[in-house]
Structures are given as structure tokens and as C-alpha cells.
């Protein structure tokens, strides 16, 4: 049960029609499958209207102010969404994440905006039909691409108000690169975010299908970009099974082009790229091939990388990460990873055992991973025969 939480100051999301919602995160979205977020209890804060109502006005508006007051008075259980959320207490998004100075400022003026992560859903549609993605439930927010004027208005509004968000993510549930003028949005962002004066990080998650060389170059020029490529497969057969509608060869070649050019342009400290593999029944036999394939490629680029469970991503930050991730099956099997029959802990051990056996753990992480596996005891999970 959460009594206070900083997410009302830190994690708004804005959809392509300009509607702004308070914290999209809760136990529904984070402890369960983020591809099946329940939108019915989202709290709408207001509507951005280009040249009339700015994002800052909405974030400082009466609804958000009320939410912030409830949070400051430890009364978040009055909000159904927060009442069932465990997220606020167990992460840095609790009010403790503010410095004492910021907290004083918040208490004096609860309408203050102290930004963390702004999500802008520049496009809510997707070109794929992945098996673990519940996009069929998104009809209500299937709003298509954001108007360029809306996007520019939001960014200019932030610039004018000197309202500093640490990061901006150019997606929420859609495929951002599907925006018909993605290149123009990126150009505009680059023009405004000189020396990271508005955002320290730009975050993009993509299925990589539309990551043409031209778009890659534009993203790379943005500077500090954290980009995640959702792959989930080593072979074309598995990719086709999971990421339905995608072109495997194209995505691999797009990602290689991106990484090669990103490494050329920046020193290694400016890279934040992730190659993501969600462990599922359909792909668990490809864990080691996936890690080996990308490890060898990254070695050839002479780039420093790690192979980690997403929960450890912050412990071992490296310019590029080969990232394993787990989703909940949801419903009755909430504790279990998507279709594997394993709990998340079991799936993590399963993954690390395979990687250890195949010598795929980078040296720096070896000791802690070996300890983890050693201390796991005899896991009695029922895994598919390991074909790797
Ligand atoms: S308690 Fe949970 S749902 Fe409520 S604002 Fe915090 S993270 Fe979001
Ligand atoms: S690419 Fe992402 S958003 Fe699109 S269907 Fe797959 S999981 Fe869902």
C-alpha cells in the first residue's frame, strides 16, 4: 500500500491528441506485463491545446495539484490506482528521491513541477503483432501519429518555462519510428536540446523495422540517446513466430548499421544501446545463441558491453547491453514468466546458467553471477530441454 509517491511530479505521459495523464506506472504495468497495461484507471490531468493550453499549465493544474496534496499528506490510498500499487514505495520514485531542498520547495508549492521522465507518445500504432503484446486493448488510445505542431508546441512550452526533465521518451506503447515525420521531430528536438539543456537523455524503444540508415544517422546526431531494440530471437524462425509481421534480416542489418555508426561517432561513454530478449517459451532455447551472436558482433566493434538481466542493468552499466527480460503471464499465473512456467527468479537463474556454461558472461560480472547461481540451490523448475 502506498501512502506517498513522487510520480505525480515526475512521470507524466502525453498522448498524440495532447491529453496528459498522471503516472502511467503502477503494479498493473510494472509488476505485470507492460504490454497489457490497463488504461481504464489512468488519471487524466488535462489537455494540451497548441497555442492555447501548455503542458506546464496542465501539470500545474488543479487535478495534479490535488493528487500531489494527497501524496504530501500520505493519503494516496484514496486513489484506487495508487491503493493497489507497490511501485511507489519500492523505487526511487518515492518522495525520498527528492533532495531536502526540493522537498522544501514542493511543500511550499505543491503545484511545482519537478520533472523526471516525460513520455510523449508520438505514435500510438504499431506495424507488428507480437504474441506477448496486448495491443488489441488499446483501441481507446489508438490515436495515430502526433501532429508536428503539437510536438513543437510541447517542446517550446518546456523551453519557455525552463522546465527541466531529466529524460524524454518518444514513445509509450506505440512504435515511434512509424511516425510519418519522425525525422522532422528528431531535427526539431536536436535544434532545441542543444547541450542537453532541456533533456539529459532521449529514450527510444523500437522494433527496428524502420530504422533506415538515414533515420539512424539522425538519431545518432541527437547525442545522448538511450535506444532499446526489441528482438527476442536469434533465428528467423523464432523471430517470425514471436514478432509477427517483422522482417528479420532487415532488422538485424538495421541494428548493425546503427551500432557501427554510433560507435564511430561517439566515444563509448555516450552510447546507451540495448539489445533486448524477453525470455518466453518460444525462444528460451535461443538464449545462448542470441548472447553469443551479439557478443561477437560487439567484440568486433571493440565496444564494451554486458550481458544482464534487466533488473541488474543499473548495476553493470555499459555502453551496450545485451538485455534479458521477463514478462509476467498475467492473470492467475501472475508470478510466472510469460508462458515459461518459471518464476522470474527461476528464469533468471536459468538464463545465467546457460550463459555461464557457454562462457558468455563478461569478466567483470562473472563473480556475482557465479555467486547468484551457486546460492540458488536446486531450482525445481520445469524447463524445456536446453537445446543450446
Ligand atoms: S502510487 Fe503507483 S500509481 Fe500512484 S502515482 Fe505512485 S507509482 Fe503511480
Ligand atoms: S513491436 Fe512492441 S508495440 Fe509493436 S506489437 Fe510488438 S511488442 Fe507490441
Residues 258-301: tens digit of each pLDDT = 999 988 887 666 668 999 999 988 999 999 999 999 999 999 99
Ligand 1 site, CB within 6 A? 2, 5, 7-8, 23, 25-26, 76, 81-82, 85, 87-88, 93
> Mind listing the pLDDT tens digit for each residue in 111-169?
888 878 899 999 988 999 898 886 655 554 667 899 999 999 999 999 887 667 889 99
CB contact at 8 A, 154 and 51:
no
Q: Which residue owns the Cα nearest ligand 2 atom 6?
A: 130
126 CA → ligand 1 middle, Å = 27
Q: Which atom of ligand 1 is nearest to the CA of 8?
A: 5
Q: How confident is the model at residue 18 (pLDDT cuts 50, 70, 90)?
A: very high
CB contact at 8 A, 272 and 226:
yes
Q: Which residue owns the Cα nearest ligand 1 atom 5?
A: 7
Residue 35 near ligand 2, beta carbon < 6 Å: yes
CB contact at 8 A, 148 and 189:
no
Q: Which residue owns the Cα nearest ligand 1 atom 1?
A: 82
- What is the pLDDT at residue 295? 93
Residue 232 near ligand 2, beta carbon < 6 Å: no
- What is the pLDDT at residue 332? 40
Q: Which atom of ligand 1 is nearest to the CA of 27?
A: 2
Q: Which atom of ligand 1 is nearest to the CA of 22?
A: 5
Q: Grid coordinates representing 159? A: 523551453
- What is the pLDDT at residue 387? 36
Look at 259 and 105; give whichever has higher pLDDT.
259
- What is the pLDDT at residue 272? 85
Name the closest ligand to CA 94: 1
131 CA → ligand 2 middle, Å = 9
133 CA → ligand 2 middle, Å = 6
> Mind listing the pLDDT tens digit for each residue in 337-383?
777 888 878 888 888 999 998 888 888 888 888 888 888 765 444 34
> Mind listing the pLDDT tens digit for each residue in 35-59?
555 566 778 899 999 999 999 999 9
- What is the pLDDT at residue 37? 57
- What is the pLDDT at residue 168? 93
Residue 133 near ligand 2, beta carbon < 6 Å: yes
pTM: 0.89
Mean pLDDT of the chain: 84
Name the closest ligand to CA 79: 1
Q: How confident is the model at residue 220 (pLDDT cuts 50, 70, 90)?
A: very high
Q: How far apart are CA 130 and CA 135, in angstroms?
A: 9
DSSP-assigned letters across all residues of 189-255 = HHHH-GGGSSEEEEEEEE-STT--HHHHHHHHHTSSEEEEEE---SSHHHHHHHEET--HHHHHHHH
- What is the pLDDT at residue 379? 46
Most confident of 13-22, 232-241, 256-265, 324-333: 232-241
Amino acid at each position: 500500500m502506498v501512502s506517498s509517491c513522487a510520480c505525480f511530479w515526475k512521470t507524466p505521459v502525453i498522448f498524440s491528441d495532447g491529453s496528459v495523464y498522471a503516472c502511467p506506472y503502477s503494479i498493473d504495468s510494472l509488476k505485470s506485463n507492460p504490454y497489457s497495461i490497463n488504461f481504464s484507471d489512468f488519471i487524466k490531468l488535462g489537455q494540451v491545446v497548441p497555442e492555447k493550453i501548455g503542458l506546464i499549465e496542465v501539470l500545474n493544474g488543479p487535478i495534479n495539484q490535488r493528487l500531489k496534496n494527497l501524496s504530501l499528506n500520505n493519503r494516496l490510498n484514496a486513489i484506487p490506482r495508487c491503493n493497489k500499487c507497490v511501485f511507489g514505495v519500492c523505487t526511487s520514485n518515492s518522495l525520498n528521491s527528492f533532495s531536502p531542498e526540493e522537498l522544501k520547495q514542493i511543500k511550499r508549492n505543491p503545484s511545482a513541477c519537478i520533472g523526471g521522465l516525460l513520455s510523449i507518445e508520438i505514435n500510438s500504432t504499431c506495424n507488428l503483432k507480437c504474441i506477448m503484446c496486448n495491443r488489441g486493448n488499446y483501441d481507446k488510445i489508438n490515436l495515430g501519429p502526433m501532429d508536428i505542431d503539437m510536438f513543437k508546441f510541447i517542446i517550446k512550452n518546456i523551453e519557455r518555462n525552463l522546465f527541466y526533465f531529466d529524460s524524454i521518451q518518444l514513445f509509450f506503447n506505440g512504435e515511434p519510428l512509424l511516425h510519418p515525420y519522425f525525422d522532422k521531430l528528431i531535427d526539431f528536438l536536436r535544434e532545441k536540446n542543444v547541450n542537453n539543456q532541456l533533456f539529459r537523455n532521449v529514450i527510444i524503444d523500437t522494433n527496428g523495422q524502420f530504422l533506415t540508415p538515414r533515420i539512424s544517422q539522425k538519431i545518432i546526431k541527437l547525442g545522448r540517446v538511450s535506444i532499446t531494440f526489441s528482438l527476442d530471437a536469434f533465428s528467423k524462425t523464432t523471430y517470425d513466430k514471436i514478432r509477427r509481421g517483422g522482417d528479420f534480416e532487415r532488422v538485424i542489418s538495421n541494428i548493425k548499421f546503427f551500432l557501427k555508426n554510433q560507435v564511430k561517432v561517439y566515444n563509448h561513454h555516450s552510447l546507451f544501446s540495448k539489445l533486448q530478449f524477453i525470455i518466453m517459451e518460444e525462444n528460451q532455447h535461443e538464449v545462448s545463441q542470441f548472447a553469443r551472436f551479439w557478443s561477437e558482433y560487439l567484440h568486433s566493434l571493440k565496444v564494451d558491453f554486458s550481458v544482464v538481466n534487466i533488473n541488474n542493468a543499473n548495476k553493470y552499466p555499459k555502453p551496450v547491453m545485451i538485455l534479458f527480460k521477463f514478462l509476467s503471464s498475467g492473470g492467475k499465473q501472475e508470478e510466472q514468466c510469460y508462458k515459461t512456467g518459471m518464476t522470474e527468479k527461476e528464469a533468471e537463474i536459468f538464463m545465467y546458467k546457460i550463459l555461464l556454461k557457454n562462457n558468455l558472461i563478461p569478466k567483470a560480472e562473472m563473480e556475482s553471477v557465479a555467486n547468484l547461481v551457486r546460492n540458488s540451490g536446486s531450482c525445481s523448475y520445469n524447463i524445456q530441454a536446453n537445446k543450446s
